[in-house]
Amino acid sequence: MRELYLPLLTLHIGAGVTSLLTLVPPLVARKGGAWHRRVGLAFVAAMAVTAVSGLVIAGLWIAVPLAIKPPPSPEQAAAQVAGMRQFGCFLAYLGVLILQAVTSGMRAVAVGRRRAVHGALVDRAMAVFVLGTGAALAIAGICQGAS
């Protein structure tokens, strides 16, 4: 499993660094200009790769935590599994938030260019998805704190 995890983690980090490096140019370039559009598209692509790879990494943390990070001792395995799964859920929610932000930004550009309608099904579906995953994470946190 680590054969999949380590290259995926490298891709995730590389995409995250790329998104940070491509964040500022579209903010300072003339809006709608060629430089703004090109670097902005690179930013969106890097953020999408960061979000998707982050979701896969979080899924691995939740599904097979001990295959990703073996425990230092057998006695610590149960606590490590619980911690990794909890943190994996949080990281998955961050991935959902990033995907929603990327989708929302691209939809805003499409609506502005009259290639899409504001409030379409995809807009509402993403809002419900973010709300549902946030509520699930909050309920899981409350239940975990109560036990």
List the chain pLDDT tens, one digit each, 147 residues: 888 999 999 999 999 999 999 999 888 888 888 888 899 999 999 999 999 999 999 999 999 999 999 888 888 999 999 999 999 999 999 999 999 999 888 888 888 777 767 777 888 888 899 999 999 999 988 988 766
**Nearest residue to 38 via CA among 22, 14, 51:** 22
For the four alpha carbons of 28, 30, 32 and 37, in that order, the dihedral sign comes to negative
Q: Which domain holds residue 29?
A: 2-146
Domain count, the chain: 1
